[in-house]
């Protein structure tokens, strides 16, 4: 079985063009402040979503006496909006994840994300990927699930929240958590994992099962978005997950972009593939619209 590390390290600089390299080396128009250092951000591709028309703010939720940092964005106008939980990569709640949260808000959702690695001091400031993985791999899945419960509970308290319309999405490690949380929380009606590990390493005290093991417990409609050139997640594993959900009678669709590597939606990294990312985003929003906006 491949380790979680393969998902992150194998695609770190894949496909970096001369233009991207030069942009990373000397950009005067785009700042990389707020991005994870070890992710090798590339300034020339960064997408920035404005807060115009949104209410966006940092905050905290208390989980077992610890203040977990959060970020919430929603349309500024009157109304009630479905909730989407946005689960970060191993880089944590850095600028890209906040930007994705704003994108969902611009699409008409109350979106909320959080810092899964706050108790460990965070990961975005760490300079080496090995350091990042050491922290991320030390966090029990149960802790992340409890954090998600708290973030969702806080979102529900907002007057603009539609309590009965809950979706979840996540990227890479967050994609795996998307599937695990959808199996744990029956309130989740729609889930969109982006290149989330299907067969993660099992570690006593950290992780006792993976998404494939709990496929039958997922009640949410699942849209999986994966790269066919991902060196850390086999296409065969993705198809096995899709088949397991179908066998269990679940609503699921998995899209594989043949030439896309891992993290193809990460516009701040060399792995970014604009065509795949744009198509996946359209599919993602349409999926949530179908199952959450009715």
Here the CATH number for the domain that contains residue 249 is 3.40.50.1820
How many Å apart are CA 67 and CA 173, to the nearest integer? 22
pTM of the entire structure?
Answer: 0.92
- Per-residue pLDDT tens, the chain, 294 aa: give them: 334 444 443 443 444 443 444 444 444 345 689 999 999 999 878 999 999 999 999 999 999 999 999 999 999 989 999 999 999 999 999 999 999 999 999 999 999 999 999 999 999 999 999 999 999 999 999 999 999 999 999 999 999 999 999 999 999 999 999 999 999 999 999 999 999 999 999 999 999 999 999 999 999 999 999 999 999 999 999 999 999 999 999 999 999 999 999 999 999 999 999 999 999 999 999 999 999 998
CB burial of 196-206 (b: ≥16 within 10 Å; e: otherwise) equals bbbbbeeeeee
CB burial of 114-147 (b: ≥16 within 10 Å; e: otherwise) equals bbbbbbeebbbebeebeebbebbbebebebbbeb
**Active-site residues: which are they?**
172, 230, 262
Angle at 49 between CA 120 and CA 109, to 5 degrees: 80
- Six-digit token string for 257: 């972009």
Count helices and strands in the chain by DSSP H and E runs = 8, 8
How many independent structural domains does the chain possess?
1
- Six-digit token string for 220: 């949410």
How many Å apart are CA 194 and CA 176, to the nearest integer? 8
Q: Tell me how far the alpha carbon of residue 130 is from its chain's centroid.
A: 20
Structural domain boundaries, residue 28:
5-292
How many Å apart are CA 99 and CA 87, to the nearest integer? 12
């Amino acid at each position: 079985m491949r380790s979680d590390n393969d998902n992150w390290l194998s695609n770190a600089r894949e496909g970096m063009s001369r233009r991207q390299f030069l942009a990373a080396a000397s950009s005067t128009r785009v700042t990389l402040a707020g991005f994870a250092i070890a992710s090798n951000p590339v300034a020339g591709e960064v997408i920035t979503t404005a807060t115009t028309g949104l209410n966006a703010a940092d905050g905290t939720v208390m989980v077992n006496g610890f203040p977990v940092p959060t970020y919430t964005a929603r349309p500024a106008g009157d109304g009630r909006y479905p909730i989407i939980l946005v689960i970060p990569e191993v880089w944590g709640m850095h600028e890209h994840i906040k930007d994705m949260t704003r994108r969902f808000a611009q699409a008409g959702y109350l979106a909320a994300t959080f810092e899964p690695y706050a108790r460990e001091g965070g990961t975005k400031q760490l300079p080496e990927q090995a350091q990042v993985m050491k922290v991320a791999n030390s966090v029990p899945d149960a802790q992340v699930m409890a954090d998600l419960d708290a973030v969702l509970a806080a979102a529900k308290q907002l007057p603009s929240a539609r309590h009965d319309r809950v979706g979840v999405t996540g990227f890479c490690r967050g994609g795996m958590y998307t599937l695990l949380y959808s199996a744990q929380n029956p309130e989740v009606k729609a889930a969109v994992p982006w290149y989330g590990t299907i067969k993660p390493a099992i570690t006593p005290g950290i992780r006792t099962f993976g998404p494939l093991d709990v496929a039958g417990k997922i009640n949410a409609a699942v849209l999986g978005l994966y790269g066919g050139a991902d060196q850390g997640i086999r296409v065969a594993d993705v198809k096995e997950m899709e088949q397991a959900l179908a066998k269990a009678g679940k609503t699921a669709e998995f899209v594989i972009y043949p030439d896309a590597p891992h993290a193809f939606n990460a516009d701040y990294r060399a792995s970014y593939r604009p065509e795949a990312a744009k198509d996946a985003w359209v599919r993602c929003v349409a999926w949530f619209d179908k199952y959450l906006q009715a």
